[in-house]
Amino acid sequence: GAVVSQHPSWVICKSGTSVKIECRSLDFQATTMFWYRQFPKQSLMLMATSNEGSKATYEQGVEKDKFLINHASLTLSTLTVTSAHPEDSSFYICSARRPNFGNQPQHFGDGTRLSIL
């Protein structure tokens, strides 16, 4: 069964709306989770690393105030796209990795398709 659950699967909303996406680790406690963005026919771009109990680490070029990340528990990280605009429309995917073990794969959620009208 799924190791990482992502919700919602898709969102359609008006420009200016803030949208929250949840990523839950079902099988283990994830001290670190990752948020990616994917455009059609393209690869995954890492947006930020979500750290439980501390601030997220954002990749260069990603606006912290635009993409708010909260990792308040060991099983839940949320990504909030604030005041979303059409250019924020994309496929957002989260992942989690078992902690404290080297050479482990990441487990991915099924993604959230965000469409801003």
Partner 1 sequence: SQQGEEDPQALSIQEGENATMNCSYKTSINNLQWYRQNSGRGLVHLILIRSNEREKHSGRLRVTLDTSKKSSSLLITASRAADTASYFCATEPYYNQGGKLIFGQGTELSVKP
List residues near partner 1 by CB under 8 A.
4, 6, 32, 34, 41-46, 49, 51, 57, 60, 91, 93, 95, 97, 102-111, 113
* Closest CB to partner 1 among residues 24, 107: 107
Q: Where are the beta strands (DSSP E) in 44-97?
A: 44-51, 57-58, 67-73, 76-81, 90-96
Distance in angstroms (rounded) separating the CA atoms of residues 6 and 113: 11
Distance in angstroms (rounded) separating the CA atoms of residues 86 and 69: 20
CB of 83 to partner 1, least distance (A): 26
* Closest CB to partner 1 among residues 66, 113: 113
* Closest CB to partner 1 among residues 19, 93: 93
CB of 38 to partner 1, least distance (A): 9
CB of 109 to partner 1, least distance (A): 5
Give the CB-side neighbour count of residue 112, counting CA atoms within 13 A: 27
* Closest CB to partner 1 among residues 60, 86: 60
CB of 43 to partner 1, least distance (A): 5
Distance in angstroms (rounded) separating the CA atoms of residues 79 and 72: 12
Distance in angstroms (rounded) separating the CA atoms of residues 68 and 58: 10
